[in-house]
Structure formats: structure tokens, C-alpha cells
Amino acid sequence: MYRHISKGSWPFSDQDCGWQVSDCTAEALECCLLLSMLPQEIVGEKMEPERVKKGGFSAWEPAGAQKWLELLNPAEIFADIIVEHEYVECTGSAIQALVLFKKLYPEYKTKEIDNCISNAVQFIEDMQTSDGSWYGSWGICFTYASWFALGGLEAAGKTCTNCPAIAKATNFLLQIQTQD
């Protein structure tokens, strides 16, 4: 069962699953690029963008449903599971993979990739909380999401000197660091 094109993506489980996952795809692509330096013919003609309106990446499918559908959520213990959202973790992974892909294949869809990275960086910066962290959805919340956000920003060429979000995140991480 496929709700949209899933060619060229990686799912959580095996190839028969069919439900693509953006951060799985980004991490798998990055591994492929690092380990085997795949030629363009093997990587594929197009990476389907899993971006939605804010420039971030959703997890499984392009977001298209209306927010009011969340009212129909039958699972009382899980909030915000009906409508697909953009996630900092998925977006950070996607930026890292796209930056590496761009280094290896600088002539391939340069404008589209640059635009995607720029929008994704803006999404990460916009999603930062007032304390300098990012809210995570997939792991140990704030530190986990901050790890992916900072990895994406760094891959895109951001530093403490040219990106206030990185400086703010550094302060957050130093403030919560334990003695051990």
C-alpha cells in the first residue's frame, strides 16, 4: 500500500514496507555517499522532497491533511499523530545528507538543493525554543533534537560566530551539563 511515491527512500524496516522515513533516508544516503561514493546513476535521478510549508522535513509522508483531523485521534496517550508534521531531527539529518551529496555531485540540481538546504536551515532556526534548545519528537527530547539541529546547522556552514542559534544552543547545553 503506497500513499505517494516511495521510490528511492528507506523505510524503518525492510524494502517491502513502502512507508518512507525522511531521517532514515537521510542517514542511509549519507552512509552510501561516505562509504561507496556512488555515481549519480545509482543514487537516482531525484530525491523526493519531504518538505512541507515551513521548510522542514516530515517523517513519513508529505503533510497534506488539515490540523482539525487531530480531533479524530483515537489514541489518548499519543498527541499529534494523525497529521504529519515537520521535525527538527528529520530536517537536521536531511541537511547533512544533502550537503554531503552536494560536495560529491556539485553540478547536480544545485539550485534545488541549495534552496532546500536554505529553507531547512531557516526551519531549524525558527523552531529553536527561548532557552536555546529544540523540542524533540523521536528521542530524549531536548538534547536529542539539539544534536540533530546543530549537526544540520554545522553541515550548512553555520558557526557560533555567524549563527546566533548555535551560540544559544551551546549555552543551553552547557547549562544542563552534569558534573560527571
Give the CATH number for residue 167: 1.50.10.20
Asked if the structure places residue 122 within a domain, the reply is yes
| Structural domain of 132 | 22-176
The total number of structural domains that make up the chain:
1
Instruction: Say which range, 9-18, 117-126, 152-161, has the weakest mean pLDDT.
Output: 9-18
Q: Please identify which of the residues 14, 16, 23, 126 carries the catalytic annotation.
A: 23
Q: Does 17 map to a domain?
A: no
Compute the distance between CA of residue 162 and CA of residue 167 in angstroms, rounded to an integer. Answer: 9
- Which residue's entry shows cell 531536548? 142
Q: Report the C-alpha gap between 49 and 116 in whole angstroms.
A: 8
Question: In a 3-state reduction of DSSP, which class is residue 87?
Answer: strand
Residue 51 lies in a domain: yes
Query: In the predicted model, what is the mean pLDDT of residues 138-167?
Result: 92
Name the pTM for this structure. 0.69
**CA triplet 69, 73, 79: central angle to 5 degrees?**
100
Asked if residue 4 belongs to a domain, the reply is: no
Whether residue 158 is predicted with pLDDT greater than 50 in this model: the reply is yes
Other CB atoms within a 10 A radius of the CB of residue 40 amount to: 12
Does a structural domain hold residue 3? no
Q: Please say if 80 is a catalytic residue.
A: no
Handedness of CA 173, 174, 175, 177 (dihedral sign): positive
Measured at the alpha carbon of residue 14, what is the angle toward residues 9 and 15, in degrees to the nearest 5?
50
Among 43-47, 101-105, 117-121, which stretch is predicted with the lowest mean pLDDT?
43-47
User: Do 169 and 132 contact (CB within 8 A), yes or no?
Assistant: yes
Element spanning 15, H or E? none
In the chain, alpha helices (H): 22-36, 40-43, 88-104, 110-127, 141-155, 164-176
Cell numbers linked to 176: 544542563
Q: What pLDDT, on a 0 to 100 scale, did the predictor assign at position 30?
A: 76
For residue 57, pLDDT beyond 90:
no
Asked whether residue 10 is assigned to any structural domain, the reply reads no
Per-residue pLDDT tens for 84-101? 778 899 899 999 999 999
Work out whether the CA dihedral 24, 137, 149, 140 comes out positive or negative: negative
Phi, psi of 139 (to 5 degrees): -150, -135
In which band, very low, low, confident or very high, does the pLDDT at 28 lie, cut at 50, 70 and 90? Answer: confident
Count H helices and E strands in the chain, helices first: 6, 2
